[in-house]
Amino acid sequence: MRRSLIVAVVSLIGLLAIATVASADHAWSAYHFPSDNLNPTVVDKTSSSLYDVTAGVQEWAALGTPIQPQITTAKKGDITVTEAFSPFWLGLARIFIDGDHITKGEVKLNTKLLDDYPAGAADHVLCQEIGHVLGLNHNRDGAQGGSPDDTCMNDQVNLFTTQYTSPNSHDTDQLNANYNHIDPSAGGDDGGGGGGCPPGKPDHPKCSASEASGHWVTVHVFWVD
């Protein structure tokens, strides 16, 4: 039976988490949207009936945390959700960083492969990749004796048998921890232009730990085994 394997492609940029998230346990480094952009807009460029991007975005906003993503009908936004194909992954999320700040994000969903999975798998992947773009790592609390692990941020589920399609209360706690401060400067550190990590190629030199601020970094890839 084919199983999905989520592999974190970890950048060492911003290795030390900021003080406001130091006590939390599934922030993705210190990456977060700046205080002057806590309503990042999401552009849905998918066409498959597998996805309800609007509902997925609203689910994260309904948590009531300071970060409130919202769907826009504009052609461009802070986060773009698109479809793409690779024989290697089901979905991926990338962020463009300026220092610790996320300035834009990208979610790619592999419709051709997700169509072979049971109903709910696409919702799980969509929910998790949006969570990553907002600054979350994987949430595996149940396995660690903590809160229930019934969250889309749990990367240790078998998509053929179980689909956790929503965030849970611990994800809420983590986002509150990530965004419980006012940034002294919304601009972050100065950085260069794009380039970036090619999707599905985490070993590419542009995905390495030496990549500087002002570049795309691959946050998480939802691999197919």
Tell me the pLDDT tens digit for each residue of 165-219: 999 988 999 999 999 989 875 443 332 233 455 555 554 544 544 344 567 766 5
Instruction: Enumerate long-range contacts of 130-133, CB under 8 Å, 24 or more apart.
Output: 130/42, 130/56, 130/57, 130/60, 130/69, 130/79, 130/81, 130/93, 131/60, 131/167, 131/171, 132/28, 132/93, 132/219, 132/220, 133/79, 133/93, 133/94, 133/95, 133/102, 133/105, 133/106, 133/107, 133/219
In this predicted structure, what is the pLDDT of residue 22? 34
In this predicted structure, what is the pLDDT of residue 14? 26
Average pLDDT, the chain: 78
What distance in Å separates the CA atoms of residue 43 and residue 107, rounded to the nearest whole number? 10
In this predicted structure, what is the pLDDT of residue 146? 53
Contact criterion met (CB below 8 Å) for 171 and 153: yes
State the pLDDT confidence band at 131, using cuts at 50, 70 and 90.
very high
Pick the CATH number of 4-224 from 3.40.390.10, 3.90.1300.10, 3.30.365.10, 3.40.50.150: 3.40.390.10
Question: For residue 6, what are the contacts with CB-CB under 8 A and spacing of at least 6?
Answer: 128, 138, 155, 220, 221, 222, 223
What distance in Å separates the CA atoms of residue 46 and residue 81, rounded to the nearest whole number? 7
What distance in Å separates the CA atoms of residue 35 and residue 183, rounded to the nearest whole number? 6
In this predicted structure, what is the pLDDT of residue 163? 82
pLDDT tens for each residue of 51-66: 999 999 999 999 999 9
Region 145-166: mean pLDDT is 83
Looking at this protein, which amino acid is placed at residue 122?
A
Phi, psi of 85 (to 5 degrees): -125, 140
In this predicted structure, what is the pLDDT of residue 213? 53
pTM: 0.76
Longest dimension (CA), the chain: 50
pLDDT tens for each residue of 105-118: 999 999 999 999 99
State the pLDDT confidence band at 7, using cuts at 50, 70 and 90.
very low
Tokens of 69: 């993503």
What distance in Å separates the CA atoms of residue 197 and residue 91, rounded to the nearest whole number? 15
In this predicted structure, what is the pLDDT of residue 202? 52
**Residue-range domain boundaries for the chain:** 4-224
> Has residue 43 got a pLDDT over 50?
yes
Q: Which of 103, 108, 135, 95 is nearest to 44 (CA)?
A: 108
Selected residue with higher pLDDT from 70 and 142: 70
State the pLDDT confidence band at 225, using cuts at 50, 70 and 90.
low
End-to-end CA distance of the chain: 10
In this predicted structure, what is the pLDDT of residue 23? 37
> Has residue 121 got a pLDDT over 80?
yes
pLDDT tens for each residue of 69-95: 999 999 999 999 999 999 999 999 999
In this predicted structure, what is the pLDDT of residue 50? 97
Contact criterion met (CB below 8 Å) for 174 and 26: yes
What distance in Å separates the CA atoms of residue 92 and residue 201, rounded to the nearest whole number? 11
In this predicted structure, what is the pLDDT of residue 6? 29
In this predicted structure, what is the pLDDT of residue 218? 61
